[in-house]
Amino acid sequence: MEIELNDLIADLQSLNQSLPDPSLRDAFHKIQSRVEHIADLVRAEPVRRSKVKDMSAEVVDSNPYSRLMALQRMGIVENYERIRNFSIAIVGVGGVGSVAAEMLTRCGIGRLLLYDYDKVELANMNRLFFRPDQAGMTKTDAAVQTLSDINPDVVLESYTLNITTVDGFETFMSSLKNKSFSPDKQGNGVDLVLSCVDNYEARMAVNQACNELSQTWFESGVSEDAVSGHIQLLIPGETACFACAPPLVVASGIDERTLKREGVCAASLPTTMGVIAGLLVQNTLKFLLGFGQVSPYLGYNSLKDFFPTMQMKPNPQCSNAACVKRQGEYILAKPARDAAAKAKLEAEGPSIEEGPLHDDNEWNISVLDDCEPADGTNTKSSDALPEGLTHELPTADEFQNPVTPEAPINDNDDLDELRRQLEAINSYLEENFGAKQEDIILYGQSVGSGPTLDIAARLPQLRAVILHSPILSGLRVMYPVKPKSKAKAVKAKTAAKPKSAAIKPKPAAKSKAPVKPKSKAKACKGCKDIDEDVTGKESCYNSCRRDTLSATKIQS
């Protein structure tokens, strides 16, 4: 396009020189300048910037990282460039996840792993990031398209899968473990997992994976009424896992599971989602680059602009086995942790005089650390009940031995046997008598021809189908028929067909009209209107037939 425009400009110039009439010059110049303007616009078309090898702190317009590197000069971050070594997994690229991904991309994160199975829809346009022209693309593809334009330095990996399915979960786990990006890293291949999903099942799946891999993660969520949200840091073993206490139970008294998911009737606002994504990424940066304090839980109530924070200890009775295992490891590692903390404290400040704060202690007051688990003797004394009273519920400490199932599980049943039984309920002959489908002949008489045809339609290998006076007795029940005329109508019909031939049910009533009106009876109006297509043209079952019957009676 640019070349064409240049050609056009050259043509115009040569034309300008050979222009005979100078009065046209002005108009001609106008056209020329317009074309040049268009050419400028075309030249300004987005050009993808090339990758940057090192982050520079140089303050020039062309340096994408100058404002970020300035964090070092301001004394906030010690070494910002470390961010290029970090990998972040974002599960759920929706209202929060996509914005978080964009923020991290603009911050120059090393590697982003994106997981989602959904597609971009126009209904998503009330949130940030995705554009209407991306409707129909998978969210992961659309995100990669935009993010790689914004910052080509970021390594993007996208996974279009559902992590709650068995296959999806395995891929999810192995992608978190994969260390090809930074082989000498300890632990897993990612530094942090950000859960930005919109449903309980997916959160539980992320929780399961991170507990098993001992992977620190952030949970985030926005309420279905779009006016509050939260983020929560989950360090397996150290803080409560998602199964220990679902956060919204604490936050609002609503059980998390009663919340509806997006797509059914949940509301959403770009503002709330943007705020939550901002809080999430801010804490992510603090966690990765080691500045400030990382919030263990941060709520956001937009109606009152209230930001509650709190800390949650893991639940020793957590239903998630991996969480309990991590808790055990955390307690075991306590001495090492204490030593490290002490060493850090000593390194930071010269030893502070640890003399008594007050010289006299008239009331013998002593301070106990309430973070430490109390000694057994202490708990006993505080829990001691007056005689005659008992606790209704068992205490947490007595939980240790898991409840054994009351009834011994009958392991004699074979899985295949059970599966066969389930199928067998619906195929009695085959299962109970070992009859092959090819050897079965279905026989249906009268009204029974209905179910016979239904079964026949389900068994492709059937040998034969016999329909004996199909549907006739049904008619007889409704309209008494004299044996005389019945004899004419009844006719055993056999339809032996070769294997695998699909059996087409024939409209039984079409074969014969059960009753012909005798000549004396007039055909009633109903004959024409109703029964034309069912019984031919001769009779109907309305008043006309009554006439016929009376006529027959008279005759006999």
Partner 1 sequence: MEGWDPNTKSTLTQIPLLTTKAGPRDGAAWTTRLKEEYKSLIAYTQMNKSNDNDWFRISSSNPEGTRWTGKCWYVYNLLKYEFDLQFDIPVTYPSTAPELELPQLDGKTQKMYRGGKICLTVHFKPLWAKNCPRFGIAHALCLGLAPWLAAEIPILVDSGMIKHKDDATTSTES
The one catalytic residue in 265, 318, 323, 527 is 265
Pick the binder of partner 1 from 201, 329, 338, 397 (CB under 8 A): 201
Residue from the set 200, 218, 297, 300 that interacts with partner 1 by CB under 8 A: 200
**Residue 263 CB, nearest approach to partner 1 (Å):** 5
Is position 107 annotated as part of the catalytic site? no
Residue 510 CA to residue 529 CA, distance in Å, equals 16
DSSP secondary structure code for residue 516 in this structure: P
Binding window for partner 1 (CB under 8 A); candidates: 274-282, 363-371, 414-422, 487-495: 414-422
**393 lines the binding site for partner 1 (CB under 8 A):** no
Nearer to partner 1, 293 or 410 (CB): 410
Tokens representing 243 are 């199964």
Least distance to partner 1, CB of residue 119, Å = 8
CA dist 28 to 21, 36, 56, 156, 424, Å? 11, 13, 48, 51, 89
* Alpha helical stretches, state H, 44-96: 66-73
> Letter for the amino acid at 473?
S
- Collapse the DSSP code of 529 into the 3-class scheme (helix H, G, I; strand E, B; otherwise coil) and give the result: helix
Q: Is 368 in the site for partner 1 (CB under 8 A)?
A: no
Distance CA 169, CA 57 (A): 41
Give 233: exposed, middle or buried? Use CB within 10 Å, 0-12, 13-18, 19+.
buried
- Residue 473's φ and ψ, nearest 5 degrees, are -65, -25
Which helix (H) or strand (E) element contains residue 310? Answer: none
Collapsing DSSP to helix, strand or coil, 154 comes out as coil
Query: Is 264 one of the binding residues for partner 1 (CB under 8 A)?
Result: yes
User: Which of these segments, 44-52, 78-86, 226-234, 409-417, binds partner 1 (CB under 8 A)?
Assistant: 409-417
Tell me the C-alpha distance between 172 and 176, whole Å: 6
Which residues fall within 8 angstroms of residue 319, CB to CB, at 6 or more apart? 243
Which of the residues 316 through 345 are near partner 1 (CB under 8 A)?
Answer: 319-320
Q: Coil, strand, or helix at residue 305? A: coil
Choices 226-234, 336-344, 416-424, 445-453; region in contact with partner 1 by CB under 8 A: 416-424
Question: Rule CB under 8 A: is residue 208 a binding residue for partner 1?
Answer: yes
Report the nearest approach of partner 1 to the CB of residue 91 (Å): 13
| Contact residue for partner 1 among 11, 338, 346, 413 (CB under 8 A) | 413
The reply on whether position 303 binds partner 1 by CB under 8 A is: no
371 binds partner 1 (CB under 8 A): no
| Per rule CB under 8 A, count of chain residues that contact partner 1 | 37
Q: Which residues are catalytic?
A: 265
Binding site for partner 1 (CB under 8 A): 118, 163-166, 169, 200-201, 204-205, 207-208, 243, 255, 257-261, 263-265, 319-320, 405, 407, 409, 411, 413, 415, 418-419, 421-423, 425-426
